Chain A
Amino acid sequence: MFDRRLVQNFDWVLLLILLFIAGISILNLYSATYPIRNMGGVQIFHKQIYWYLMGFGVFFLMTTFNYYALERLAYPGYIACILLLAFVLVMGKVSSGSQRWLHLGPISFQPSEITKIAVVLALAKFFREKGDRRYYRLRDLWQPLLVVAVPALLIVKEPDLGGAMLLVAVSFSMVLFVRMYWKSLLILVGGILSVIPFIWVGLKSYQQQRILTFLRPDMDPLGAGYHINQSKIAIGSGLIWGKGFLQGTQTRLHFLPEQHTDFAFSVLAEEWGFVGSVVLLLLYLFLILWAINIAKNSKERFGSVMAVGLVAVVFWQVVINVGMVTGLLPVVGIPLVLFSYGGSSLITTMAAMGLLMNISMRRFMFQ
């Protein structure tokens, strides 16, 4: 198992990028929790450091076995996640109004996070078996459709609109990657569009409110409209070089709500300006492009499709969160992956990065 070539093929670049992002994240979190340091902020900061340490631990753990072994576990793992989602709906403690969390003693995690990985694995397995010459028609895709629809609906019920949307986006990306017939694609898009009214009716009123607020921000000046307003002010007021570390007035004076979670990026933008926010974005970009490279070098279908899926998970979270805090998208409650405060998301994302590292390290195993 411990092959010297593994060490030779150790992907230092991937690790380095992750370390940079982690470093900036910790620094930013210190500033974001500084105003509430006497009211739990310090604990939050320390907690996140532990999460990061654990995260890197999981990262390395995920490289110790051959990722190909997961291929057999893909479907059972997926079923397990579905069961966890159902379980959390029924039993999960209600935390600030939504049933997303499972509490096992001191640890609490969100099954919806793990589900993302599970779906990626399941879809990767599915597409590996089908080969890659064909263009997929809609009727070929009924299984993937089901694989995605079931957890997506369970997640929406939690209610976590953002999480469900993310799952759909990631799956869609994977399907597009393995190519579809134009006509089938149009039918699929048409089908989704026609389902939207039904989904709209099924949304909770505050979720509907958020989307309406986004389209007409003056409609809800006291709720979600307020968040976006403050976020844009925070980001915009950073100018080129930012206000400086711990000097963000929006942050320090509590104007920015959720500043260590959903709006962590806004804190960075206020304190480090255009330069700082672009640097972080470029780090993410580099991470994603590097991961695409890993997919290219994989030489094996399961690995490359999986890599694309894992990339999509990171890509969409970045796009949705940054789009949201800059006012391009409605507020859907997606934190910034690897950056915002949150253990569940961090651990699962580090696990995903570990898998990427895994795929990268074992590319020599196939000729």
Chain B
Amino acid sequence: MRPSNFDPISVDILNRQLKKVTIVVLIFFAGLIFRLWYLQIVNGWKYRAKSENNRIHLEDIPPLRGMIFDRDGRLLVDNRAGYDLCVIPEDVQDPEGLLNRLNELIGIDLDKAREIFRKGLHSFPFKTVPIKRNISRDELASIETHRFNLPGITILVRPQRHYLHNHLAVHVLGYLGEITEQQLASGKYPNNRGGDLVGKAGIEDEWQRFLNGIPGGEQVEVDAAGRKLNVISKKAAIPGADVYLTIDSKLQGEAEKALEGKRGAIVAMNPMDGEILAMASSPWFDPNIFVKGIDRQTWDAMVKGAGHPLQNRAVAGQYPPGSVFKIVVALGALQEKVLNPEEKLFCGGSYRLGNSVYRCWKRWGHGWIKLHRALVESCDVYFYQVGKELGIDNIARYARKLGLGARTGLDLPQEKPGLIPTRQWKLKRWGVPWQQGETLSAAIGQSYVLVTPVQMACLISAVFNGGRLFRPQLTKRIHVPGGDDIRDFHPVERWDLGIDNANLELVKQALIGAVNEPHGTGSKARLKDIVVAGKTGTAQVVSLTKTDHNGGQEDIPKALRDHAWFVAIAPASDPKIAVAVVIEHGGHGGSAAAPVAKEIISAYLDANE
């Protein structure tokens, strides 16, 4: 037995304190009981009504996707109303019956619908799940008239992407598709959930994070039939930002008209700042077909089908440049002082190297010519010799200076870099050393050399704008509706060519001559009042050494015909537009591609006097 350490006074204090504690406890409990009384007695029936007759649902408010405009503010892509047929699993007493009735009315994928329903019931029974998305207006009418026989369904109105001009600039704009598991897992799509549509190509993909917006949500009171009674609270969705492109939609239309029925690409660019005025690739497609959802067969046909309409040939089409590449060789040779522009070289129609004979396109040759005429009339033999002197590694170096062999970095996904061969590259890639004969082929833009149309547009721009290689850009501004510009675009100069002005002048004069002088290969691009400069190119698809095609391409089956190139810029002294055209299997650059470039240039300059 221990002595208590409580004396009578301590006991007194203890009891007093305990009394205070008791009072505090009683007060708090009284408060709680009072609160219960308030909820259950005073407001009991109100809550009872809510719990029995009404339901509270959580609904997503999808954000409005940003719109896309051309450089003059003409609307290219916006959003229209689309209707999703949804169901609230908990409210459906007879799911099998309901799904069958729906199938009778509008036709649905029963197995898929059953699976969606089962999943919804398991996880979130009072949340809407979509059974069929993007139903037509007829289907909508059908459902609405039979509403009372379809308890538990609800129609969700969603914004649906709409490409106003169908296939116009489709490769630039891109299209939407359902977000994949990998995309969700990547963390780059914080505002998207499974089932959302996100950009899959083009600008829709490039600026997905600005175009998407931020979803909102609402707590909604609905009755047993699923009708919205009351919005309890709402968090507004934040719409996506609008994108303004540098594209001139009128010019774009002209470019697509010129490519009608052909395969190829056109890139038109402002040579002084890199803004892309038009970018067309043929064949094309209508992105509106993806909006409603596309079935497997049609999709397969598009992806694997002949012509590859999904491919943007302007940035991903890699072709041998043909004679257009002579610009690179000429500049390189001049700069390296390997070439004297006043020196005459002989072209007799062919050139012998070792055991091989390399032909000029002109059967009987050009005779003794200097650089200027060699470019104007595109003499192959001249450039065989120059190329041999310069060497493949130097050729490659100047090609890279002029932006070839690497991505331009423009604001589109899936750009390809092309290819500029070097000795080292060949050894690594093919395991055999570089042959001198291959330098000759490379000098006239055949062999392993591959370029894209957008690279060529940049190249000719750099030659004529004083030696600055600009990054091509498709986006002018990204603008929050009713707010500020998120992004404003300025010309980006990637680097200075570092080539002497005198050398650039020489080449420029030759390119002017190629269009405007007699015997120039680009004469079909000549305009009456404006000085157009340019270069033709004819890229071999198949090397036809035995068949002497002597300029006549029509005799050869189309699939074997060469690709036709033309790269142009105008006006030569004060450049406003640079154009690169490639027509697959078009034959000669001069006859197939040059007239197209002329159309584009004159359309643009006429409209922009």
Interface residues of A (CB under 8 A from B): 39, 68, 128, 132-133, 173, 177-179, 217-218, 221-222, 225-226, 229-230, 232-240, 249-250, 253-255, 269-270, 273-274, 277-278, 281, 284-285, 288-289, 292, 295-296, 299-301, 304, 308, 311, 315, 318-319, 322-323, 326, 328, 365-367
Q: Are B32 and A240 in contact (CB under 8 A)?
A: no
Q: A304: which B residues are within 8 A, CB to CB? A: 14
Interface residues of B (CB under 8 A from A): 1-6, 9-10, 13-15, 17-18, 21-22, 25-26, 28-29, 32-33, 35-37, 39-41, 43-48, 50-52, 55-56, 58, 90, 122, 125-126, 217-219, 232-235
Q: Are A274 and B40 in contact (CB under 8 A)?
A: yes
Q: B37: which A residues are within 8 A, CB to CB? A: 274
Q: Are B4 and A222 in contact (CB under 8 A)?
A: no
| CB-based nearest B residue for A238 | B40
Given contacts A229-B219, A240-B40, A296-B15, contact A253 B126 (CB under 8 A): yes
Q: Are A367 and B32 in contact (CB under 8 A)?
A: no
Q: A301: which B residues are within 8 A, CB to CB? A: 5-6, 10
Q: What is the distance, in angstroms, from B94's C-beta to the closest C-beta of chain A?
A: 17
User: Please, how many angstroms separate the alpha-carbon atoms of A213 and B39 in the complex?
Assistant: 20
Q: What is the distance, in angstroms, from B127's C-beta to the closest C-beta of chain A?
A: 10
Which of A217, A249, A273, A300 contacts B6 (CB under 8 A)?
A300
User: Please, how many angstroms separate the alpha-carbon atoms of A178 and B52 in the complex?
Assistant: 51
Q: Are B33 and A278 in contact (CB under 8 A)?
A: yes
Number of A-B contacts (CB under 8 A): 154
| CB-based nearest A residue for B40 | A274
User: Please, how many angstroms separate the alpha-carbon atoms of A222 and B47 in the complex?
Assistant: 19
Which of B18, B48, B58 contacts A292 (CB under 8 A)?
B18
Q: Are A323 and B32 in contact (CB under 8 A)?
A: yes
Q: A240: which B residues are within 8 A, CB to CB? A: 40-41, 44
User: Please, how many angstroms separate the alpha-carbon atoms of A285 and B32 in the complex?
Assistant: 11
Q: A239: which B residues are within 8 A, CB to CB? A: 40-41, 44-45, 48
Q: Are A277 and B40 in contact (CB under 8 A)?
A: yes
Q: A217: which B residues are within 8 A, CB to CB? A: 233
9 tightest A-B contacts by CB? Answer: A236-B47, A221-B233, A237-B51, A366-B4, A221-B219, A237-B48, A239-B44, A236-B39, A237-B47
Q: What is the distance, in angstroms, from A313's C-beta to the closest C-beta of chain B?
A: 13
Given contacts A132-B13, A366-B3, contact A274 B35 (CB under 8 A): no
Which of A221, A292, A315 contacts B234 (CB under 8 A)?
A221
User: Please, how many angstroms separate the alpha-carbon atoms of A128 and B10 in the complex?
Assistant: 12
Which of A292, A299, A300 contacts B21 (CB under 8 A)?
A292
User: Please, how many angstroms separate the alpha-carbon atoms of A364 and B335 in the complex?
Assistant: 110
Can you identify 14 A-B contacts, CB atoms within 8 angstroms? A217-B233, A232-B47, A235-B39, A236-B47, A237-B51, A239-B44, A239-B48, A250-B51, A254-B126, A255-B56, A274-B36, A296-B18, A322-B35, A328-B35
User: Please, how many angstroms separate the alpha-carbon atoms of A318 and B32 in the complex?
Assistant: 10
Given contacts A250-B51, A253-B90, contact A230 B56 (CB under 8 A): yes
| CB-based nearest B residue for A307 | B18
Q: What is the distance, in angstroms, from B233's C-beta to the closest C-beta of chain A?
A: 3
Q: Which of B25, B90, B234 has the most CB of A within 10 A?
A: B25
Given contacts A221-B218, A253-B125, contact A237 B36 (CB under 8 A): no
Q: Are B21 and A177 in contact (CB under 8 A)?
A: yes
Given contacts A250-B51, A253-B126, A255-B126, contact A236 B46 (CB under 8 A): yes
Q: What is the distance, in angstroms, from A270's C-beta to the closest C-beta of chain B?
A: 8
Q: Which of A68, A221, A318, A366 has the most CB of B within 10 A?
A: A221
User: Please, how many angstroms separate the alpha-carbon atoms of A304 and B303 in the complex?
Assistant: 81
Q: Are B14 and A132 in contact (CB under 8 A)?
A: yes
| CB-based nearest A residue for B91 | A253
Given contacts A222-B235, A285-B29, contact A233 B2 (CB under 8 A): no
Q: B32: which A residues are within 8 A, CB to CB? A: 281, 318-319, 322-323, 326
Secondary structure of the A side of the interface? helix
Q: Are A249 and B234 in contact (CB under 8 A)?
A: no
Which of B25, B40, B55, B122 contacts A315 (CB under 8 A)?
B25
Q: What is the distance, in angstroms, from A67's C-beta to the closest C-beta of chain B?
A: 13
Q: B5: which A residues are within 8 A, CB to CB? A: 128, 300-301
Q: What is the distance, in angstroms, from B16's C-beta to the closest C-beta of chain A?
A: 10
Q: A274: which B residues are within 8 A, CB to CB? A: 36-37, 40-41, 44
User: Please, how many angstroms separate the alpha-carbon atoms of A221 and B4 in the complex?
Assistant: 57
Q: B3: which A residues are within 8 A, CB to CB? A: 366-367
Q: What is the distance, in angstroms, from B440's C-beta to the closest C-beta of chain A?
A: 66
Q: What is the distance, in angstroms, from B214's C-beta to the closest C-beta of chain A?
A: 13
Q: What is the distance, in angstroms, from B93's C-beta to the closest C-beta of chain A?
A: 13
Which of A173, A269, A311, A319 contacts B36 (CB under 8 A)?
A269
Given contacts A177-B17, A277-B40, contact A221 B235 (CB under 8 A): yes
Q: Which of A178, A236, A284, A301 has the most CB of B within 10 A?
A: A236
Q: Are B18 and A295 in contact (CB under 8 A)?
A: yes
Given contacts A232-B47, A233-B50, contact A326 B219 (CB under 8 A): no
User: Please, how many angstroms separate the alpha-carbon atoms of A226 and B17 in the complex?
Assistant: 41
User: Please, how many angstroms separate the alpha-carbon atoms of A255 and B52 in the complex?
Assistant: 12
**Given pairs A233-B47, A236-B48, 14 additional interface contacts (CB within 8 A):** A39-B122, A132-B14, A179-B13, A226-B219, A230-B56, A233-B56, A237-B47, A239-B48, A240-B41, A254-B90, A281-B36, A285-B26, A295-B14, A308-B18
Q: Are B1 and A235 in contact (CB under 8 A)?
A: no
Q: Are B25 and A289 in contact (CB under 8 A)?
A: yes
User: Please, how many angstroms separate the alpha-carbon atoms of A233 and B219 in the complex?
Assistant: 14
User: Please, how many angstroms separate the alpha-carbon atoms of A273 and B47 in the complex?
Assistant: 12
User: Please, how many angstroms separate the alpha-carbon atoms of A128 and B232 in the complex?
Assistant: 55
Q: What is the distance, in angstroms, from B232's C-beta to the closest C-beta of chain A?
A: 6
Q: Are A366 and B2 in contact (CB under 8 A)?
A: yes
User: Please, how many angstroms separate the alpha-carbon atoms of A274 and B58 in the complex?
Assistant: 29
Q: B90: which A residues are within 8 A, CB to CB? A: 253-254
Q: What is the distance, in angstroms, from A299's C-beta to the closest C-beta of chain B?
A: 5
Q: What is the distance, in angstroms, from A204's C-beta to the closest C-beta of chain B?
A: 18
Q: Are A308 and B21 in contact (CB under 8 A)?
A: yes
| CB-based nearest A residue for B218 | A221
Given contacts A236-B43, A255-B56, A273-B40, contact A249 B217 (CB under 8 A): no
Q: Are B219 and A222 in contact (CB under 8 A)?
A: yes
Q: B217: which A residues are within 8 A, CB to CB? A: 221-222
Q: What is the distance, in angstroms, from A124's C-beta to the closest C-beta of chain B?
A: 13
